[in-house]
Structure formats: C-alpha cells, structure tokens
Amino acid sequence: MAATDNIRLRFDHVSIAVKSIDRAYDFFAKYFPIKLRGAKSLDDQVSGSFYWQDFHLGGFVVELIEDPPGKPGFVTKFIERHGEGMHHLSIETDNLDAMVANLKAGGVRVVDEQKYESGSATAFISPRSAFGALIQFWHTPNWEQALLALSRVGAGSTVKMDIDESGIRRTIEIPLKDVSDPSRVLGYAPIRPIIDQVAPGTPADRAGLREGDAITAVNGNKIEYWEQFRQATQLSNGQPMTLDLTRQGQPVHLMVTPKRGAADTDEKVYQIGVLPRDETAYKHVSFSDSVRLSGAKTVESIGQTVDVVGKLFSGRVSIKQLQGPVGISHLAGQAVRRGPLDVISLMVVISINLGILNLLPIPILDGGNILLLAIEGIMRRDLSLSFKERFVQVGLVFLLVIFAIVMYNDILRRITSHS
C-alpha cells in the first residue's frame, strides 16, 4: 500500500501562463465549447500579484493567468523562460500535511507552503522534482475548521475564501462587519433539523419534544437547516413558537416558549434546550493518520474542558450543568442506543474530565497533593501533620458538598422531565 492511498486527491484545474488573458480567452471561446466561470480577478500571493480567469472545458477547469499591466512578475518570468503554456497543475487534497510529509520523506522538493485566514492551505512541488511540471496541492477546511478560522478574524477584516461548488473552484472575498457569530458568515451549515438530545427540565422537555423529532416549520415558516431553527428561536423574543414536526413519519404540532439561557450556559440568548443530530460519515485512514487525528481531537477536547472549568469558577457556566452518576448513566444509555462511536466518545469525554478535574488544586485530589508538595518545596520544610489533616478534611468536605449539589440537580432534572 502506497503512503498516499488514504489521502483523497481530486483534479482541480490546470493553469496556463499567458501574455494576455483576453486574447487567450477569445481563442478558446472561438474554437471550443467553453463556459466562463466569472470575471477576471486580481489575486495576491507570496509569489506576487496576478490576474486570473477560468472556464470549463469538457468537464475540466482551465485557468488563465497574467501579470498586471506594467508590473512584470512571476508570470512574465515564466513566459520568458518557457514561453506561454501550462504553468501548474492544481490538485485538491483532504490531508495536505500528510501529503507534504510523504513527499518530503521521498526527497521531493516542496516550495511555497502557505496557510490562509480562511483555513485553506497550499503547497507546490518544485518542477525539478516533478519532471518539469509545477504541481500545486490545495486543502480546504471542513465546516468546524472554517468556523474556527473565522472566529480568529477581527471585525472589519476582509477574508479571502476558495470555495468548491460541484467541482467548480472560485475565490471570493467577504468583508466581516460582525464576527460574533461566525456561522452567519458562511450561511447555513448542512445540518438537518433533527433533534438528537432534549435537556431535562427545559422548555423543549416541558413542551413534549423528543429525540428524533424532525422540525419542518416554525410559525408556518419552512425549516430546512438547523441554523434556521436556531435563529428563529433566538429571534423569538421569548414569545411562544408553533413547531411543525415529523415524528416516526407522522405530523405533530407543538407549542414551545423559548427562555433566555435555557441551556444553563453563558449564552444569554433565547433557547429551548435541544441539540441537533450529528450525522457522521466514516472514512478509512492509515494508522499514522488515525494517531494524528485522534491526538488533535484529544487536545481540542482538553481545551474545551479547561475552558468549561474556567467558566464554572467565573460563574459564566452554571453548576447545574454538571452531571453526576444519574446524569452519566442517562447519557450512557443514550450513547448505547446511538452506537459504538457515541459510547467511545462518551468514554473519552469522561476520561478527559476526570483527568483534568483530578489535577485541580483541591485538597485530597492529586492536584491538591501537588500544591501541598509545592508549598513545602517553597518553604523548604515539611508542614505539620495536623495542618495536612485539616487540609485533607477541607478538601473532603468541599467534594462532598459538590457531590451533594450535583446529585440533587441530577435527581431534580429527572423528576422534572417525568412530571
């Protein structure tokens, strides 16, 4: 098996360096059945500014590139050396890092590696390594990566995005006036409005919403994506909403009244306490890629857990969000019903949570012992046995109080959801 067998590659376009895009386009339009994709555009890259215009030809995409008038750059240099002709072949890949690593491991010279604000990345194989052909690899991010990249961009900036629509790639620029909700920049994510979880004691629970309900309309307005439903809920201003649902193939009509912060998070927006179904697609990857991807996901989960712990101490997340044995058993039951992936994911979440909480500087936990040893190290002497006993007792009382509060909320949620 080749090292790149598990890396998806797709032909994107072939780029032709010309002295005049207009003259070259007129030639192709005269003799070939082509379809223009858009107007001639200016692009700025590390290698310099250039104009480009592309079109469809027999199911493929051809890109014409030229230097700006009076500003000779890399296109002019290429033409002086080789004449007008193919400048590079562009290939899209779902794993650019692995592709580049494989190339470099084989002694292939990779040049012009770049990562962009939109989350896209590119790299070129030097013509010396590819028998005279300059080969470009592109990677476009998944939805989560794109939203994360947008969240790092400040308001007032302009983001350049490379998008692929049914095999047609084009570059667009989006001015960002408000980045408080990155999802609105990209429109509606392709998430179907199917309820996966209903939080106990929330407006959705009291209204009778159930796992698996498909939302078809809100107040008579058709709903196709989850984001549409979320926006309708947030803009409800707390007024009752009429939901049209499909439950096990049968139409259902319910009334629900959104409440601010119904999910007990730091989001002070109108919510009803539901989560969408995560429709997962499976893809086989190599062992090395699985280790890399799982490591990245673990780091991401650790960061999220640390963030939640910080919000708990700062009061931005309610302690009611914590789940005890009753809540965990309920989540475990849901995970078993959904399948092995959810069971493994829950195990990972619990393990990470226990690991991080155990490192908090609370007496009786490992973090408390580390704190105690650090104090003794700074003081350069052992603390008295009576102090250590009191230290452990304080920690034990603190944990018992937390445990009692969490158990109380757990049981209260279950009673409320069944009342």
Please indicate, yes or no, whether residues 78 and 178 belong to a single structural domain of this protein. Answer: yes
Distance CA 356, CA 351 (A): 9
Tokens describing residue 73: 């750059």
Please indicate, yes or no, whether residues 230 and 365 belong to a single structural domain of this protein. Answer: no
Please indicate, yes or no, whether residues 21 and 153 belong to a single structural domain of this protein. Answer: yes
Please indicate, yes or no, whether residues 259 and 319 belong to a single structural domain of this protein. Answer: no
Q: For residue 194, what are the β-bridge partners?
A: 214
Residue type, 62: V
pTM over 0.95: no
How confident is the model at residue 2, as a pLDDT? 47
Residue 18: what are its φ and ψ, rounded to 5°? -135, 160
Please indicate, yes or no, whether residues 17 and 81 belong to a single structural domain of this protein. Answer: yes
Mark which of 185, 217, 233 sits at the end of a domain: 185
* SS3 of the chain: CCCCCCCCEEEEEEEEECCCHHHHHHHHHHHCCEEECCCCEEEEECCEEEEEEEEEECCEEEEEEECCCCCCCHHHHHHHHHCCEEEEEEEEECCHHHHHHHHHHCCCCEEEEEECCCCCEEEEECCCCCCCCCEEEEECCCHHHHHHHHHCCCCCCEEEEEEEECCEEEEEEEECCCCCCCHHHHCCCCCCCEEEEECCCCHHHHHCCCCCCEEEEECCEECCCHHHHHHHHHCCCCCCEEEEEEECCEEEEEEECCEECCCCCCCCCEECCEEECCCCCCCCCCHHHHHHHHHHHHHHHHHHHHHHHHHHHHCCCCHHHCCCHHHHHHHHHHHHHHCHHHHHHHHHHHHHHHHHHHCCCCCCCHHHHHHHHHHHHHHCCCCCHHHHHHHHHHHHHHHHHHHHHHHHHHHHHHHHHHC
**Is residue 28 domain-resident?**
yes
Please indicate, yes or no, whether residues 55 and 168 belong to a single structural domain of this protein. Answer: yes
Which residue segment(s) compose the domain that 268 sits in? 188-276
**Is residue 409 domain-resident?**
yes
Please indicate, yes or no, whether residues 138 and 96 belong to a single structural domain of this protein. Answer: yes
Distance CA 134, CA 126 (A): 6
- HSE (side-chain half, CA atoms, 13 Å) at 269: 12
Please indicate, yes or no, whether residues 154 and 166 belong to a single structural domain of this protein. Answer: yes
How confident is the model at residue 1, as a pLDDT? 36
- Indicate if the alpha-carbon torsion angle 143, 148, 152, 154 is positive or negative: positive
Please indicate, yes or no, whether residues 136 and 84 belong to a single structural domain of this protein. Answer: yes
Provide the CATH number for the domain around residue 155.
3.10.180.10
**Is residue 321 domain-resident?**
yes
How confident is the model at residue 417, as a pLDDT? 58
How confident is the model at residue 164, as a pLDDT? 58
Looking at the 3D structure of the chain, how many domains does it have?
3
**Is residue 408 domain-resident?**
yes
Please indicate, yes or no, whether residues 257 and 309 belong to a single structural domain of this protein. Answer: no
Nearest-Å Rg of the Cα atoms of the chain is: 28
How confident is the model at residue 165, as a pLDDT? 60
Q: Residue 229 contacts by C-beta under 8 Å, 6 or more apart in sequence?
A: 193, 215, 218, 223
**Is residue 331 domain-resident?**
yes
**Is residue 283 domain-resident?**
no
How confident is the model at residue 331, as a pLDDT? 82
Mark which of 169, 185, 201 sits at the end of a domain: 185
The answer for 316, left when phi > 0, alpha when psi is -120 to 50, beta otherwise, is: alpha
Mark which of 222, 248, 276 sits at the end of a domain: 276
Mean pLDDT, consecutive 10-residue stretches, the chain (419 aa), reads 60 90 92 83 74 85 91 91 90 82 88 71 84 81 63 64 59 66 61 84 88 91 86 88 91 90 65 81 71 82 84 77 81 81 86 89 88 90 88 90 87 68
Provide the CATH number for the domain around residue 270.
2.30.42.10
